[in-house]
Amino acid sequence: KFLMKLPKYDICINVQGKLEGALITLFSGAKERISWNRKGWKVFYNKPVNADDLIKISGIGNTIDHRLALLSPMEILDYKRDLRIWIKDEERKNIKKTMESAGINLEKPVISFGVTSRREFRIWPKDRFAKLIDFLYKKYGIQAILFYAPNDKKYNSEEEHCNSVKELVQNKEAVFTNIKTKSARELIVLLAESDMYIGNDNGPRHFAQAVDTPSFAIFTTLNNKKSFCPHNNPRHKAVDMQDVLEMSDEKYSEYVEKNIEFRDFLNDIPYEFVEKFIDNMIENLGIFKNK
């Protein structure tokens, strides 16, 4: 009944290639039904796409290319691969008021930290985040905003997690857990008004990239940073165990294959490695030069 009540569309694209999406695509009434060319699935689509031939739009073949390949049945398009979100002036004014009301001095450096994740194995240890905040406070006088999804207890208590990180910080006056963004949009604006984003591999990293706030993320081995992060972009960096081990792609693939059941890879990414990487990034970009 749900499928029969679907509104009618001109074009329907099943991005993930799952059965649910295939059924929705079939019953959408769309003249053009697009997804991956898989054996036995052609009944669902009239414009199947061969991923192997098309995913290297950029010459790299990452997740963005993979998704853009589904647009290939259309007329020739000028692909825009840069992620971009625009912020209204009024939104910037409102978030600045919120930040100042929380005690933030906008004349001093502000770093938003994404210390949480909905998946435990994507969370870098609390004590290392706390140590990093102390280091950046002593060297650059930063103010650290630990943001979270209010009342999100489906996976873990993000507010509780942020406050527990703050308790481990020596210079607690540098940490703010009292800025509650009510929506993803508000969080995006907050990141736009921050000088930098530092955190786990999570959604907000993409937001920071989209508003071109310098970003640094720590990736678990189970998510390939090369699939989700910009390549050779000095403003948006990420590290994983491959960087720590200094392995080639081939050797690292073997390493992951042998350790695929071991999900606690973030514990193996040492604090000293992250501190040095971030410090160099801040210095090279001159992130706080105007503050």
List b or e across 159-193, with b for residues whose CB sees 16 or more CB atoms inside 10 angstroms: bebbeebbebbeebebbbbebebeeeebbbbbbbb
Helix H segments across the chain?
19-27, 51-54, 63-68, 89-101, 126-140, 158-168, 184-192, 203-210, 225-228, 241-245, 249-258, 271-285
Calpha distance 31→218 (Å, rounded): 43
Which has more confidence, 17 or 153? 17
- For 38-81, write each residue's pLDDT tens digit: 888 888 999 998 866 655 555 555 677 778 788 888 777 676 77
> Which of 28-42, 70-84, 111-125, 170-184 bottoms out in mean pLDDT, i.e. has the lowest?
70-84
Mean pLDDT for the stretch of residues 130-140:
98
Structure tokens at 265: 């890879």
Identify the band that residue 27 occupies on the pLDDT scale cut at 50, 70 and 90: confident
AA identity, residue 54: L
Q: Is the pLDDT of residue 167 over 70?
A: yes
pLDDT at 82: 77
Mean pLDDT for the stretch of residues 282-288:
97
> 184, 206, 203, 199: which is closest to 266 by C-alpha?
199
Nearest-10 Cα torsion for 5, 9, 14, 18: 10
What is the value of pTM for the model shown? 0.81
pLDDT at 58: 52
pLDDT at 201: 82
Residue ranges of domains in the chain, CATH in brackets: 11-71 (no CATH), 89-285 (3.40.50.2000)
pLDDT at 131: 98
Q: Is the pLDDT of residue 129 over 90?
A: yes
How many whole angstroms from its chain centre is CA 105? 26
Identify the band that residue 228 occupies on the pLDDT scale cut at 50, 70 and 90: confident
**DSSP letters along 90-158, please?**
HHHHHHHHHHHHTT--TTS-EEEEE---SSGGG---HHHHHHHHHHHHHHH--EEEE---TT--SS--H
Average pLDDT, the chain: 87
Between the two ends of the chain, the Cα-to-Cα distance in Å is: 59
pLDDT at 68: 79
Calpha distance 279→142 (Å, rounded): 13
Structure tokens at 183: 């929506």
> Which of 77-91, 145-159, 189-203 bottoms out in mean pLDDT, i.e. has the lowest?
145-159
Mean pLDDT for the stretch of residues 145-166:
81
pLDDT at 57: 52
Cβ(90)–Cβ(185) below 8 Å: no
